[in-house]
Structures are given as C-alpha cells and as structure tokens.
C-alpha cells in the first residue's frame, strides 16, 4: 500500500495518546509518532495537499511550530510558497502582528507583510485544532496582510474544545484528517 492510500483510521492509529499530560485528566494527542512514521507523514501531507488544492490555495500558511512541518510539506507538494506565522521577535524585518488571548494570559503572532499579495488565496495548515485561538489569530493576521482566508486544514480536530466551530463562525471552512472526541 502506498503512503497516500493509508486510511484515516490507519493515520489515527499512528497518533500516540499520553494520559494526564500536561495535567491530570488531559489526554494529550502526541503527533510526533505520526511525523516519525514515513508512510504516515507522507499520507498526511498527501491528503492535506489534496484538500488545499481543492480549496484553490495560492500559498500555504502555517503557525509555529508544527504548522511549519505540515504546512511547508504541503506547499512543496503543491508547488506553491509557504508563509510562516511566527512567534514574536523571530523575524529580522519590520513585521505586522496580532495579540490574542490564551486561557491564562496572552500571546502574539507576527509575519512579514510582504509575504502575501493583496487578494491572494491562502490556506492555513496546522497539526491540531483545539480551542482555535491561534488559528483565529493567524487568520486575522493573514487577512490584515491582504490574504483571502476561506479554508483551514488540520491533521487532528478536538471537536469538544470548539475551535473548528469558532473558525466556521469566522467564515472559514475547516477540514481535518481525524478527530479525537472528549478531549
């Protein structure tokens, strides 16, 4: 079986679940086991790239850090550019940024404002959607730079945490390769 033909169930089986991390009662979905499995990684990228191509992606954007892994690989497969959405202070040029709320505090994302042409269709790719805060902030930042953001793709959705629903409320179509309920 070629990597791109691994089923969603086979990909899901490659994700390690770590109970009680980082706190008791949390079932942490560790994607490093999927990334470390050649066929699983290749299949994940293949499936994400097909979704991004169907969405009309002209570039792919990914958030630091695991969004860089999947997003850059998808961009290479599609033959389009990659836009890194960075943590603050990582770019040596003038940036645009956005501050956003976390459960216990706040954070900031930045990007090179010249990385996008006005009206360019960008698809967001990341490893996991939980509460959606980072993905929503990324979409807002990319839109501020002139991008058209209509789609966001994830390897894993944790639907009980509501992030995908929040993105949909912001006018973004959400697709994920797999879901883990109850987390």
Task: Please tell me which residue in 53, 58, 66, 140 is annotated as part of the active site.
Answer: 66
For residues 93 and 164, what is the distance between their CA atoms, to the nearest angstrom?
A: 32
| Catalytic annotation present for 66 | yes
Cite the beta strand spans of the chain per DSSP E. 16-19, 27-30, 59-63, 81-85, 96-102, 105-111, 121-129, 148-157, 173-179
Question: What is the rounded radius of gyration, in angstroms, for the C-alpha atoms of the chain?
Answer: 16
For residues 108 and 167, what is the distance between their CA atoms, to the nearest angstrom?
A: 18
**Hey, which residues are catalytic here?**
66, 103
């Amino acid at each position: 079986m070629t990597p791109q033909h691994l089923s969603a169930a086979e990909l899901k089986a490659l994700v390690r679940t770590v109970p009680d991390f980082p706190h008791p009662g949390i079932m942490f979905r560790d994607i490093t086991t999927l990334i470390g499995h050649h066929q699983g990684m290749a299949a994940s990228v293949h499936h994400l790239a097909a979704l991004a191509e169907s969405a009309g992606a002209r570039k792919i954007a990914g958030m630091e850090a695991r969004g860089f892994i999947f997003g850059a690989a998808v961009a290479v497969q599609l033959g389009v550019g990659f836009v890194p959405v960075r943590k603050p202070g990582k770019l040596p040029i003038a940036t645009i940024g956005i501050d956003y709320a976390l459960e216990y505090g706040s954070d900031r994302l930045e990007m090179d404002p010249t990385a996008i042409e006005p009206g360019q269709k960008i698809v967001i790719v990341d490893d996991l959607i939980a509460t959606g805060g980072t993905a929503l902030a990324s979409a807002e930042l990319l839109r501020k730079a002139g991008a058209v953001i209509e789609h966001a793709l994830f390897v894993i959705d944790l639907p009980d945490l509501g992030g995908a629903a929040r993105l949909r409320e912001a006018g973004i179509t959400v697709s994920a390769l797999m879901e883990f309920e109850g987390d």
